[in-house]
Amino acid sequence: MQFPDAADVATPHLARGGASGNCMITTKWLGQVVGLRTGACGAVVSLCAAMYTPLAVAVVAGSLVLAAWTVVVAVRGSGIRNSLLVGLLALEGLLLVQLVVGVVLVAGGQRPPSTVTFFAYLVGVLVVLPVGTLWSVAEKSRPSTLVLTVACLAVAVMTARLLQMWADAHG
């Protein structure tokens, strides 16, 4: 049995195909080639690059609004209502879109200075809101609502750091 080189396992390759300009982003994984068709070569990567900054700004703004909302809920002493949970779910959806966009950008050849750190932030930020929400819902006290405030602020800071890493690499 032959194992692929370490570089082939994790390094995406952009392969152009024919006169149509179609391309495929491929990665060798345990000898298998896994690919993502992008249509017109680079179109998906270009679209993702163009939307990454506005998406990150939307995530930061949404998380700050939700943080303020959780402070109001804590000060009033009212419990967490469904409307707040829907807002948190919407923010988590934006974070999932941010993960997909980040993966497509890196697979398309645009890399931040530390790809491992970039992916750690992309995946780590997805965990913060569910953990904070579960903690806050399980314990029905006023301070537990502030756990959601801290989680929302952590999402804003982690996303700002992602944006900073991306800006350092791409001006």
- Helices 115-138 and 82-107, packing angle to 10 deg: 170
Distance CA 33, CA 14 (A): 12
Residues 39, 11: Cα–Cα separation, whole Å: 20
CA distance 74 to 69: 9
**pLDDT classification of 139: cutoffs 50, 70, 90:** confident
What's the whole-model pTM score?
0.70
The tokens of 114 are what? 């530390």
pLDDT at res. 88: 95
For the stretch 22-37, pLDDT in tens is 444 444 333 344 444 4
101 neighbors 125 (Cβ within 8 angstroms): no
* pLDDT 10s digits, 113-128: 788 888 999 999 999 9
